[in-house]
Structure 1
Amino acid sequence: MDTQHVTTMPGTDRDTSLPFPSLDGQTLQAYNQLVATLYSGLHDNTGFQSFFNAFQQHFKALQGGILGVTSNPQRMVYGWTFGYPEGFEEWYINSDLPEKDEALTRYIQLPPRQFDSFLRGDDSRTILEILGPESRAWAEAVGMGDSAGMLVTRENDTNVVFMANRHQDFGPYTDGELLQMNLLAPHIENAVALHLKLYQSNSDNENLAMALNHVNKPLMVFNALGSIAQANDAARNLLTHTGNLFIGDDQRLHSSDKRLSRKLHDAISTSIVHSHKGHLDTRTLFIRNGPERLAICLTPLVAESVENNGVLAELFSFDTELVPDLQRMQTLFQCTPAEAAVAAALIQGQGAGAIAEEKQISVHTARQHIKNLLAKNGYRKQTELVAMLVRALG
């Protein structure tokens, strides 16, 4: 490629007479391989991971991914990521950081299919000078040197962003690397659009609906974008009865309470991330509704084809005024009367602190009872124990 392109990066004041560099044959070959890897994920149902691996190696990227982000508030609702430490996505989803993330804000404001970076090849500055306190703390901890990204598309009020952070040891992204990224940009857009269509496909929904309706308990299935693929009649009836939760026009689960909506969406998004990583941990949300308490158990679904990954939601309604059958709980969970009383409190959504206060015991004793329940029933995590208790008694 001998032709040189004169261009202006958005928001920059550098001399527009300076051309982008051309690509040599070796670099062009590497670019073509990136494009091939990107599209191969559609063919063999591996998603974006192979492309991420190749991108990370070619551009010496530290971490990044493709993120679906709502506009107001700015929240991550789904995504495919690479390079982050274990548990980062869950922490990020459930924090306020997306609303303060300068990188997300910057890339969302770009024209679609146009990569930009923070430093734009200027090695006399550092990204830490540009970022706010919250982002700066994270960037400093991981040794971030630069970040590049683009707005891929806007889909149903969700901005889809591709971003790639880089370690300071490799310096800022160069003009040549940004040129390559911008050549990749329309291919990334095409691949993401095709993936979104696969995830939104209703081809299996009729069979799924029939299967769910054969089960009497309320069930919902969320697809990999956080939308409801199907909800059986029992689930819809329960939502109508509670009046506190509803399925919106965007096919997401909402609450009239904005804080609860955010809690729901964060939990669903976290479970979606876990489905992509093959983690099957169930988490349970508890929602008060007058004299009733609604429990929602969210379990990641890992399918043979990644576009069928998602989340199973089981809904349970409890009357908070009913006295639990502690003797039955002792038999079911092989526990003492004191441990059964703690198990009953866990089903009501209480933590160790609230249990200690209600039972007038120390927090240490409450936690020890929980540890005993875990050990006796073969669970490692409290979230798994709570889900088991809810399912057994719901």
Structure 2
Amino acid sequence: MTKLKSRSHSPPNEELSLAFPTLTAEDLQAYNTLVSTLYRCLHDNTGFQPFFDAFQHRFKAMQGGILGLTSNPQRMVYGWTFGYPEGFEEWYINSDLPERDEALIRYVKLPPRQFDSFLRGDTSRTVFDVLGPESQTRVWAEQVGMGDSAGMLVTRENGSNVVFIANRHKEFGPYTDDELLQMNLLAPHIENAVALHLKLYETRSDNENLAMALNHVKKPLIVFNALGNIAQANDAALALMENSRSLSINDPGRLQSADRRITRKLQDAITTCIVHSHKGILSPQTVFCSRGHERIAVCLTPLVADSAENNGVLAELFCFDSSLEPDQERLQTLFQCTPAEAAVAADMAQGLSASDVAERKQISIHTARQHIKSLLAKNGYRKQTELVSMLVRVLG
């Protein structure tokens, strides 16, 4: 049986003895309900929301979830969450916060399948006694009125971690020893359910049928599964990367650039597309990888399949020589734009930002942004990312 922590201020990975609290018949009934609800989540691919609902009700948790994290650096690559505002996942994926989130840092250091909390039932303290004065977690805790946070390391393998986290509002006080005991009884079931869910719905074979069709297309294409790993790259994509100095596939089956900063942008963009796929949002993302004159544009589009478990991301790769000027006359014709706007569009198709365009064209940043706004309005695009993707596809 899992040992619980004492209420001392010892580090979370220090093992201490503690007499178990007793569980009432009501507690055991609630535990059985939670376990049943957890395993019912495996009947389809929609995630763990029914379990989250039951967990919230039982433990008065306001927000949390199951997060898949890379290590060194610690970044969120997939997850199921509850209680957070709309758009939280996309913001969290594209931020540095996972590297500085004191809750995640704390729970990743725990032994697997062992819940801990910040306060461990100590009503004489608050989470602000635990969090550092400059902590980003402290800022979030103040904004949402956090009273305590509990969590566990679900699994640790192959350089990645899966963490369960549950924050609680201050009006309900800290998690008690009884509640931590019940969470620890749930811990091995959470581990089993997550492992089974990933195996059932998000393995390499999920996109197999789509992947088999890729080699019938001469354009370099890659399909990513719901974990951000490459499910299949067609022969054209493999040939491109074999001869490329700026883009490759690493051992865990992820797309990487020779530049670590670009690799991070790639992973953030892929993960954002995965989140969008589950919401039925088809907004594309484009990341540019370059080395010398070689520039590869990776255009990412969320895949929303007939069966939701096959959702993922499709990547189109476009390789070009950045020293060659794009066909501006073609841009003028296709995008209904002036010569000045076409010149800006050509730079955007090579991965330049508004400030880069302004510097290169020796124009003000205001003028560059006005040209971009005009291009968006004339062609019915809401976001610059949509326009850039279309520019790359047209010129590629």
TM-score for both structures, normalised by structure 2: 0.91
The equivalent of 1:57 in structure 2 is: 57
**Residues 150, 165 of structure 2: 8 Å contact kept:** yes
How many angstroms apart in 2 are the aligned matches of 1:299 and 1:10?
A: 49
- Identify the residue that residue 104 of structure 2 maps to in structure 1: 104
Q: CA 1:380/1:6 → structure 2, altered by over 3 Å: closer, same or farther?
A: closer
- Cα-to-partner distance string for 1:113-166 (whole Å, 9 max, x where unaligned): 111111111121111221232221122122111111111112322111111111
Correspondence 1:292 to 2:288: no
* Residues 5-60 of structure 1 deviation map (CA, whole Å, 9 limit, x = unaligned): 994417946994543231333x4333323222222221132222222233223322
* Contact 1:300 1:312 survives alignment (8 Å): yes
SS in 1 for 2:77: strand
Deviations 1:230-265 (A, max 9, x none): 001111111112122211221111233322222222
The 2-side partners of 1:368 and 1:270 are apart by: 27
Contact 1:116/1:178 (8 A) holds in 2: yes
| Counterpart-to-counterpart distance in 2, 1:209 and 1:17 | 53
Kindly provide the amino acid, as one letter, of the partner of residue 368 in structure 1. Q
Q: 1:306 to 1:126 in 2, by over 3 A?
A: farther
1:9 to 1, 5, 21: 5
For residue 188 of structure 1, the aligned residue among 190, 202, 219 is: 190
198-207 or 129-138, larger mean C-alpha shift: 198-207
Distance (whole Å) between structure 1 residues aligned to residue 87 and residue 391 of structure 2: 25
C-alpha distance in structure 2 between counterparts of 1:47 and 1:191, whole Å: 10
8 Å CA contact 1:7–1:20 kept in 2: the answer is no
Q: Which residue of 1 aligns with 2:219?
A: 217
Q: Tell me if the contact between 1:6 and 1:16 (Cα under 8 Å) persists in the aligned partners.
A: no
d(CA) in 1 for partners of 2:207, 2:32? 36
Q: C-alpha distance in 2, partners of 1:290/1:10?
A: 58
Which amino acid is the alignment partner of residue 139 of structure 1? A
Write the mapping of 1:15-30 to structure 2, written as runs, cut at 5 A. 16=17, 18-25=19-26, 27-30=27-30
| Partner in structure 1 of residue 13 of structure 2 | none
Residue in structure 2 matched with residue 243 of structure 1 by the alignment:
245
Counterparts of 1:277 and 1:53, CA distance in 2: 19
Q: Structure 2 CA distance, aligned partners of 1:42 and 1:360?
A: 58
Q: 1:392 maps to which residue?
A: 394
Task: Using the TM superposition, give the Cα deviation of residue 304 of structure 1 relative to its aligned residue in structure 2, in angstroms.
Answer: 4.4
Q: Deviations over 1:50-86 (max 9, x none)?
A: 2223322332222211111122222222222222223
Residues in 2 aligned to 1:106 and 1:11: alpha-carbon distance in whole angstroms? 16
Q: Which runs of 5+ in 2 are unaligned?
A: 11-15
Bigger drift between 321-330 and 112-121 goes to 321-330
Q: CA deviation at 1:191?
A: 0.7
Contact 1:228–1:253 (CA<8 Å) still a contact in 2? yes
Unaligned runs of 5+ in 1: none
Between 1:201-210 and 1:291-300, the stretch displaced more is 201-210
Q: Are the counterparts in 2 of residues 70 and 76 from structure 1 also a CA contact under 8 Å? A: yes
Gap change, CA 1:317 and 1:13, over 3 Å in 2: closer
Work out the number of aligned pairs and report it: 389
Q: Secondary structure at the match of 1:22?
A: coil
Judging changes above 3 Å, is the alpha-carbon distance between structure 1 residues 334 and 6 closer, same or farther for their aligned structure 2 residues? closer
Aligned residue identity for 2:251 = D
Q: Aligned in 2, Cα 1:220/1:23: closer, same or farther, shift over 3 Å?
A: farther
**SS of alignment partner, residue 84 of structure 2:** coil
1:316-331 map, 5 Å: 316-331=318-333
Query: What fraction of aligned residue pairs are identical, expressed as a percent?
Result: 71
* Residues in 2 aligned to 1:146 and 1:43: alpha-carbon distance in whole angstroms: 32
RMSD between aligned alpha carbons? 2.2
What pairs up with 1:243-322 in 2 under 5 angstroms? 243-322=245-324
- In 2, Cα distance between the equivalents of 1:321 and 1:256? 20
Q: Which residue of 1 aligns with 2:153?
A: 151
What secondary structure, in the 3-state scheme, does the structure 1 residue paired with 2:243 have? Answer: helix
Equivalents in 1 of 2:9, 2:375: separation in Å?
63
Give the 3 Å change call, closer, same or farther, for CA 136–109 of structure 1 in structure 2: same
- The equivalent residue for 2:337 is 335
State how far apart, in whole Å, the 1-side matches of 2:378 and 2:2 are. Answer: 69
CA drift of 1:387 comes to 1.0
For the residues of structure 2 that align with 1:157 and 1:17, how far apart are their CA atoms? 32
**In 2, Cα distance between the equivalents of 1:306 and 1:182?**
32
C-alpha separation between the residues in 1 aligned to 2:206 and 2:18? 54
Counterpart residue number, 1:141: 143
CA contact (8 A) 1:6 1:17 kept: no
Counterpart amino acid of 2:296? Answer: L
The aligned runs of 1:73-222 (5 Å cut-off) are 73-132=73-132, 133-204=135-206, 206-222=208-224
